[in-house]
Chain A
Amino acid sequence: MADGPYSIKEEEQARSQTEPPDVELVAHARQGDESAFEELFNRHRRRVSMIASRFFRQREQVEEIVQESFTKAYFALGDFSNEQDASFAAWISRIAYNSCYDELRRQKRRHESALTDVSEEDTTWLEENLRAEGAEGDVEGSAVARDLAEKLLARLSAEDRMVLVMLDAEGMSVSEIADVTGWSVSKVKVRAHRARASLRRVLKRFL
Chain B
Amino acid sequence: MTGHKKEHGMNERLDRLGSKLVRAAARNEETGEAVASSSFLYTRLRARINSESARREERERWRALFGVVWRAVPAMALVALLAFVLFLSAAFTRSVESYSAEALFGERDAGVERVVFATDRQPLSSDDVLATILNDEERGNLR
Report which A residues bind B (CB closer than 8 A): 4-6, 38, 41-42, 45-46, 49-50, 52-59, 62-63, 66-67, 70-71, 74-75, 126, 129-130, 133, 139-142, 145-146, 148-150, 152-153, 164-165, 168-170, 196, 199-200, 203-204
A200 touches B42 (CB 8 A): no
A62 touches B13 (CB 8 A): no
Count CB-based A-B contacts (< 8 Å). 129
Report which B residues bind A (CB closer than 8 A): 11, 13-29, 31-36, 38, 41-42, 44-45, 48-49, 52, 56
Q: How far is the CA of A200 from the CA of B25 in the complex (A)?
A: 16
> Given the complex, which residues of A lie within 8 Å of B29, measured CB to CB?
4-6, 50, 53
A52-B35, A59-B35, A130-B13 known; A71 and B52 CB under 8 Å? Answer: yes
Q: How far is the CA of A42 from the CA of B41 in the complex (A)?
A: 10
29 intermolecular pairs with C-beta atoms under 8 Å apart: A42-B42, A45-B36, A49-B32, A49-B36, A54-B26, A56-B28, A57-B25, A59-B31, A62-B35, A70-B49, A129-B20, A133-B17, A139-B20, A139-B21, A140-B20, A141-B24, A142-B24, A145-B21, A148-B24, A149-B21, A164-B22, A165-B22, A165-B25, A169-B22, A169-B25, A169-B26, A199-B18, A203-B17, A204-B14
**A75 touches which one: B16, B25, B44, B52 (CB < 8 A)?**
B52
A45-B41, A67-B44 known; A200 and B23 CB under 8 Å? Answer: no
CB distance from B32 to the nearest CB of A (A): 3
Q: How far is the CA of A170 from the CA of B29 in the complex (A)?
A: 12
